[in-house]
Structure 1
Amino acid sequence: MTSTAASCLVFLTMKKLEEVELCFPELLNSSCRKAVRPHSVSMLTYILLSSISLITVTLNLLVIISISHFKQLHTPTNLLLLSLAVSDFFVGFLMCFQIVVIEGCWFFGDHMCILYQYLGYIITAASVATMVLISVDRYVAICEPLHYPNKVTQKRVKICICLCWICSAFLQTLLLKDNLEQPGRYNSCFGECVVVINYIAGLVDIFLSFIGPFTVIIVLYMKVFLVAVSHARAMRSHTAAFSLKSSVSVTAKKSELKAARSLGVVIVVFLMCICPYYCVALTGQDILLNASTATFVICLVYFNSCLNPVIYAFFYPWFRKSIKLIVTLKILQPGSYATNML
């Protein structure tokens, strides 16, 4: 009788565990539980995120090839776009891991978990820093046009980009020091991927990666906007006949204003996509949000990486032209790097 009761108890326990759907059924009570969602919702999410990931990787790879290959595109501003495209390209790959953890289970071990989180933090910080550099570039181009060729050179921009990535990696190494030394130390069950940053370090990170940079971006672009408006009014008030030199000057101003507008759109979209993530960090997502909402906020950050090259395609004729040359394989022809792209 006792044996029968025990057998029934084991059977009921196993059945209950099957219904719960553990990440690692063989580990029983030490395994994390899968997120319970309708099959149709899970499939739709898989398809959506997979499509975004593929589009993000493909489009940003086109941007990287375009700016790297064609000599005429080796301008300081485009080098900053290249840095942004590199970070967006890696975001596309990181989305593959986000797709895997849709069900709430991490299957790649503690070391891959911390590597995934570490790279994600570095890429996000580098993207924010690159946006600051883009804002500075546009500020100097619009507000100090006579000094732009001397102040903003390819060499200086390359150094700034390298410092941007190095400082991002160094900062995240300090913030995630405990997690890097002992991966998985904060996991409560098998199948979880959790990193924890202490309160003081979290405040420093939010200030350096969010409040400080975003304040700089907004202030600089407000100044750019005011100067751009004054330039536009000045050009409208001087529509009479000019000398060739004056005509060229007006054309140059229009080109700079158009570039400022295009990059302004990139920055505004970036702020709209990444602000919810940092706002959640400021308010405490563990308290206010469930796992699904937190995942949505993270995916919104990823989605921005897909939008950037779409914006380039809409605003930059050179990007559309380079796509045609790449797709038709004309880029493989000798001397293609010298093609006129502007």
Structure 2
Amino acid sequence: MMTMQEQGELCFPLLANTSCRRTQRDPSTAALSSILLSAISLIIFTLNLLVIISISHFKQLHTPTNLLLLSLATSDFLVGFLLLFQIFLLDGCWFFGDLICIVYYVLNYVIMSVSIGSMVLISVDRYIAICDSLHYPIKVTLIRVQICLFLCWSSSLVYNFLCFFNSLKHPGRSNTCVGECVIVVTYAVGITDLFLSFIGPITVIVVLYMKVFVVAVSQVRAMRSRVGMVTLHDTIIKSSELKAARTLGVVVVVFIVCIMPYFCIAISGQDVMLNASSSAFIICLVFFNSCLNPLIYAIFYPWFRKSIKLIVTLQILQSDSSELNIM
């Protein structure tokens, strides 16, 4: 006969023979963890919502580069939503059913793929802006960027759906007890994802930014020595593009550092079972990156600081606020 204390340790006391057991934690630690994750989720929501509102509302910010930042902010905003589900996994119990469990993990993969794709597009944008500045307005237009982003989001969704089709078709088959939420990443899927979602894109990003760095250094030297046939107008444009390349370069480096631990497990040589305990650090590091991007914008972009002030003071509610000059 199971005692009341033992029943209290079960995720589903009415299913005594099949229910998972709760992770035993100190009550104060459990409360602190929940508060901390809730606070991080709120910060992610708030900061990325400010980015989304800023770029969407002010017409002066409707540029190809900012559209890429909007895509990145949207994926980060969704990360804040998924983080709320992570709170329920702290005690090792999942109460939303097997299908929602698989969907939760698949959405994590989709959002990560979208973020990586957005980083690649940002690198391409900076490469063209710095290395082929004369043709940048022709090659990089709002319509083309919108098409690229649509392909990025749709391909990420289709790719991850195919990778985890069997898990979606048979949810919960990897669970050992009721209330568990795990997804098995096979070695084959892990290696494929490693090359398509990490090694390939990161290689493209590094190569493009190395070329941008070389051109940027030569441009700075030319500007300082005033050597070369460069007009004042072209110099001003180049200076602004160089600053944007520096800022977005910081965003890319921070992103790579935050997602690298996850992809390291793909080459472990064994099937990897991701659950609340084994992936806690990796998941939190990826979530943490979603907080950092808006902070980087606030440090390097004066327009973002100005737009935050206009949003917080509700000046964007004025009829002509979208036409304001915030650059």
Q: TM-score, normalised by structure 1?
A: 0.90
- Distance in 2 between the 1:14 and 1:154 partners? 65
Match of 2:248 among 258, 263, 273: 263
Amino acid in structure 1 at the alignment position of 2:6: L
- Report if aligned partners of 1:70, 1:336 keep a CA contact under 8 Å in 2: yes
- Report if aligned partners of 1:285, 1:294 keep a CA contact under 8 Å in 2: no
**Residues 290, 193 of structure 1: CA spacing in aligned structure 2 closer, same or farther, 3 A cutoff?**
closer
- Distance in 2 between the 1:45 and 1:315 partners? 32
Task: After TM superposition, give the deviation of residue 15 of structure 1 in Å.
Answer: 5.8
Aligned to 1:298: 283
Give the gaps of 5 or more residues in structure 2: none
| SS of match in other structure, 1:23 | coil
Aligned to 1:234: 222
**Residues 288, 123 of structure 1: CA spacing in aligned structure 2 closer, same or farther, 3 A cutoff?**
closer
**Number of aligned pairs?**
327
Match of 1:174 among 154, 162, 170: 162
Amino acid in structure 2 at the alignment position of 1:107: F
**Residues 259, 285 of structure 1: CA spacing in aligned structure 2 closer, same or farther, 3 A cutoff?**
farther
**Residues 18, 99 of structure 1: CA spacing in aligned structure 2 closer, same or farther, 3 A cutoff?**
same
191-200 vs 295-304, which moves further: 191-200
Amino acid in structure 2 at the alignment position of 1:104: G
- Distance in 2 between the 1:246 and 1:287 partners? 57
Aligned to 1:307: 292
Q: Deviations over 1:205-241 (max 9, x none)?
A: 22111111111111111111121111111111129xx
Amino acid in structure 2 at the alignment position of 1:131: M
- Distance in 2 between the 1:129 and 1:120 partners? 14
Task: After TM superposition, give the deviation of residue 38 of structure 1 in Å.
Answer: 2.0
- Report if aligned partners of 1:187, 1:193 keep a CA contact under 8 Å in 2: yes
Q: Name the % identity.
A: 62
| SS of match in other structure, 2:77 | helix
- Report if aligned partners of 1:184, 1:193 keep a CA contact under 8 Å in 2: yes
- Distance in 1 between the 2:10 and 2:189 partners? 34
- Distance in 2 between the 1:114 and 1:47 partners? 25
Match of 2:171 among 172, 183, 189: 183
Amino acid in structure 1 at the alignment position of 2:183: V
- Report if aligned partners of 1:175, 1:197 keep a CA contact under 8 Å in 2: no
User: Over aligned residues, Cα RMSD in angstroms?
Assistant: 2.1
| SS of match in other structure, 1:29 | coil
- Report if aligned partners of 1:17, 1:28 keep a CA contact under 8 Å in 2: no
Q: Which has the larger radius of gyration?
A: 1
Aligned to 1:32: 20
| SS of match in other structure, 1:30 | coil
Q: Deviations over 1:245-286 (max 9, x none)?
A: 822222211111100000001001101111011112322697
- Distance in 1 between the 2:276 and 2:209 partners? 35
- Report if aligned partners of 1:129, 1:164 keep a CA contact under 8 Å in 2: yes
Task: After TM superposition, give the deviation of residue 143 of structure 1 in Å.
Answer: 1.1
80-89 vs 192-201, which moves further: 192-201
| SS of match in other structure, 2:110 | helix
Amino acid in structure 1 at the alignment position of 2:198: F
**Residues 171, 290 of structure 1: CA spacing in aligned structure 2 closer, same or farther, 3 A cutoff?**
closer
- Distance in 1 between the 2:92 and 2:246 partners? 41
Task: After TM superposition, give the deviation of residue 159 of structure 1 in Å.
Answer: 0.2
Task: After TM superposition, give the deviation of residue 328 of structure 1 in Å.
Answer: 1.1
Aligned to 2:104: 116
Give the gaps of 5 or more residues in structure 1: 1-9
- Report if aligned partners of 2:7, 2:16 keep a CA contact under 8 Å in 1: no
- Distance in 2 between the 1:289 and 1:331 partners? 44
| SS of match in other structure, 1:334 | coil
Amino acid in structure 1 at the alignment position of 2:167: N
53-62 vs 218-227, which moves further: 218-227
Aligned to 1:17: 6
Match of 2:198 among 206, 210, 214: 210
Matches within 5 A, 1:316-331: 316-331=301-316
- Distance in 2 between the 1:14 and 1:286 partners? 37
- Distance in 2 between the 1:187 and 1:292 partners? 15
Q: TM-score, normalised by structure 2?
A: 0.94
